[in-house]
Every structure is written in C-alpha cells, then in structure tokens.
Amino acid sequence: MAIRALSGLVPEWYTPAGQDDDASPTRFQIRPLNGRELGMVSDHISIADNRMLIAAEGVDRCLAMGLQDWENLEGENGPLRFSRNAMDLLPVGIRRELASKIVTISYLSDDNRKN
C-alpha cells in the first residue's frame, strides 16, 4: 500500500470549554499541523492516564504554527487583536487546551475530520 500524503489541513474554529452561558464566547481559529510541524512537536508530547501532556516548548510550537486567529478575546483595555506577541498573554490553561486540540486534529484522518 502506498503512503498517502497529508491533505485537507483546513483551519477550524474551536470554543474552549466553560463558556456555555456566554452569548459571545471566545473562540480560536486553529489548523492541523502538517507532517513536518507535527514532528517538531511530537518530542514534547507524552501520554499519562489516557491524557495527552504537552511540555511547555511543545505548547509554544503548537500555538506558533497552529493558532491562526481569535474572536472575542478581552484584554485589559478592551478587545485584544490577534498577533503573535499577544499569544503570550493567553492563560496557561487555555494555551495547553488549544495545543492539545491542535495535536488531536492533526492526527485525525480526513474521513474522521468530516464526521
């Protein structure tokens, strides 16, 4: 069987948990990592108790490559516009959640992603 190249690496919007009652939840546009990018992150991933753990350097790499935009993110002085520098202001829990989601969608097959 021939090796199949990655395809369909399309961005998607993700809303972190805990915003069910919010009329305008914060959401993040993320995209799956390609093979080279996932390789750059994979050394920083481990599995313990059926949970994915990503070391800080892996989280940083995931976000740098997979986080594309956000909506409804509030800063100290109002809405915070997306920028690479502003990513550093995201709380650590959200950073880890986003990185985990980026890695998860990077491993899904095209067929599973469509469902």
pTM of the shown model: 0.84
**pLDDT mean for each 10 residues of the chain (115 residues):** 64 90 91 93 91 93 96 92 94 95 81 50
Q: Are 112 and 64 in contact (CB under 8 A)?
A: no
Distance CA 109, CA 30 (A): 16
Domain assignments of the chain as residue spans, ordered by start: 12-110
Report which of 115, 105, 109 is spatially closest to residue 29, judged by C-alpha positions: 105
